[in-house]
C-alpha cells in the first residue's frame, strides 16, 4: 500500500467527523418569513399599538375633563390597557433598530416587555369579570370571585417574580463562576 494514501488529512477528518459518511452537509434553512414582511408587520403592530395608546390616553383625559369618578372600573380598565399598549408599542419599536438586541435583553427588561403584559391581561380579565359579576348583582359570588381573582393574580405575579429572580441568579452564577 501507498504510504501517502494511508495518511489522512486532519481537515478531512474534521469535515467528516460529525456525520460519519461522505455526504455533503444539508443546506441552510432560510427564514419562513422574508425580511420585508417582517418589517411590514413590525411597522403595522407599532402603529396599531401606538394608536391604541393614544386612544386610551385620550379616554383617560376625557375622564378627568368631565370629572367622572376617578377610582372606578372604567379608569382602572383604561389604565391597565394604557400600560399594556405602552409596553407593546415599546417592544415593537425595539425591533426597528436591531432584532437581535431586542431578543437579547437583560432579565428585568425581558420580564417587563415579554412577561408583564401577560400579567396585565390577566388583571384586566379579572377586572372585567368582577365588574360583570357586580352588575348582575351576585354580591356573595362577587366577593368570592374578587378574592379568588386577587389571589390568582398575586400568585401569577409571584411566580413571574420568582422566575425573574431565578434567571438573575442563574445569569449571575454563569457569569461569575
Q: Alpha-carbon distance 112 to 170, whole Å?
A: 18
| pLDDT tens sequence across 23-73 | 676 677 776 777 788 888 889 999 999 999 999 999 999 999 998 888 888
| pLDDT tens sequence across 95-131 | 777 777 777 888 888 888 888 898 888 888 778 777 7
Please give the backbone phi and psi of residue 130, each rounded to the nearest 5 degrees, phi first: -65, -40
User: Of all residues in the chain, what percent carry a pLDDT higher than 90?
Assistant: 21
Q: Alpha-carbon distance 117 to 90, whole Å?
A: 12
75 vs 95, which has greater pLDDT?
A: 75
Q: Alpha-carbon distance 91 to 97, whole Å?
A: 11
Element containing residue 116 per DSSP (H, E): helix 116-136
pTM: 0.62
Amino acid at each position: 500500500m501507498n504510504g501517502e494514501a494511508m495518511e489522512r488529512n486532519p481537515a478531512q477528518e474534521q469535515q467528516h467527523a460529525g456525520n460519519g459518511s461522505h455526504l455533503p452537509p444539508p443546506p441552510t434553512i432560510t427564514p419562513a418569513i422574508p425580511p420585508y414582511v417582517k418589517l411590514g408587520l413590525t411597522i403595522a403592530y407599532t402603529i396599531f399599538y401606538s394608536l391604541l395608546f393614544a386612544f386610551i390616553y385620550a379616554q383617560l383625559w376625557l375622564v378627568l375633563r368631565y370629572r367622572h369618578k376617578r377610582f372606578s372600573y372604567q379608569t382602572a380598565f383604561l389604565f391597565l390597557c394604557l400600560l399594556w399598549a405602552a409596553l407593546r408599542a415599546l417592544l415593537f419599536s425595539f425591533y426597528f433598530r436591531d432584532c437581535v438586541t431586542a431578543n437579547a435583553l437583560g432579565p428585568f427588561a425581558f420580564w417587563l416587555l415579554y412577561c408583564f403584559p401577560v400579567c396585565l391581561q390577566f388583571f384586566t380579565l379579572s377586572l372585567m369579570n368582577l365588574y360583570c359579576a357586580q352588575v348582575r348583582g351576585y354580591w356573595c359570588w362577587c366577593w368570592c370571585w374578587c378574592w379568588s381573582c386577587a389571589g390568582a393574580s398575586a400568585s401569577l405575579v409571584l411566580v413571574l417574580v420568582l422566575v425573574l429572580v431565578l434567571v438573575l441568579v442563574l445569569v449571575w452564577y454563569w457569569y461569575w463562576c
